[in-house]
Amino acid sequence: MATTSDIKNGLCIVHNGKIATVVEFQHVKPGKGPAFVRTKLKFIETGKVIDNTFSAGHKIEVVRVETRSYQYLYPEGAGFHFMNTDNYEQVFINKNMIEKADFLKEGVVCTILFDAEEETPLSVELPFYIDAEVTYTEPGVKGDTATNTLKPATIDSGADIKVPLFINIGDKIKVDTRTGEYSERIKS
């Protein structure tokens, strides 16, 4: 068992029977009264972020986690199949464990967070940027490069994003998976 003095950003703990990650923490020693630790915890299963205060010296249960690289293979029903790039072992991940699952493309290497003791997957992180091809958008008009106006587009993973007016069907672009925004056009 660890105590509140061991809390740091990224630490995974069990809180109210569920696994949570410490997003932010602050040790507070008021002039009057005992010290305490103010934290923001993000529950891995739901993605919900809560504020929680621990008294100084409070015992916390730390969860040992490992990150591994897995390659996305294909969708099936309510989830997706991934393959370990080292030993070719496959794992099935439910769709609700993946934030922004509509950016998954065949062959993309993702980072999967595992509970090291039970060998169960906890969450999937996509790479920060993916290369995509625009499969549908309204045609661009010559001279539409001067403004920052955006138009809707669909990329080859099936996600809908906003792109600048000069982007056409078939153009290769870079997309930020964290925000779902267009980043840049890829020159071929």
pLDDT tens, residue order, the chain (188 aa): 788 888 998 889 999 989 898 989 999 999 888 999 999 998 887 778 999 999 988 999 999 989 899 999 999 988 999 999 889 999 999 887 888 889 998 999 999 988 888 888 888 889 999 999 999 998 866 666 666 788 899 999 889 999 988 888 999 999 999 898 999 999 87
For the chain, where do the domains classified as CATH 2.40.50.140 start and end?
65-125, 129-185
- CATH class, domain 129-185, is mainly beta
Query: Does pTM surpass 0.85?
Result: no
Position 82 scores a pLDDT of: 94
Question: What single letter denotes the amino acid at residue 96?
Answer: N
Task: Given CATH 3.30.465.10, say whether it is the number of domain 2-62.
Answer: no
Q: Residue 44 in 3-state DSSP?
A: coil
Residue 145 confidence (pLDDT):
62
Task: Specify the domain boundaries for CATH 2.30.30.30 within the chain.
Answer: 2-62
| Model pLDDT, residue 54 | 92
125: left (phi over 0), alpha (psi -120 to 50) or beta: beta
Given this model, what pLDDT does residue 183 score?
A: 92
Contact present, 13 and 61 (Cβ < 8 Å)? yes
**The CATH number of domain 65-125, selected from 3.40.50.300, 3.90.1010.10, 1.10.3720.10, 2.40.50.140:** 2.40.50.140
Residue 46 has a pLDDT of 79
Q: Give the span between the Cα atoms of 41 and 51, in whole angstroms.
A: 6
> What confidence score (pLDDT) does residue 123 get?
83
- Residue 92: its pLDDT value, please? 92
Question: Residue 187's closest CA among 167, 161, 164, 160?
Answer: 167
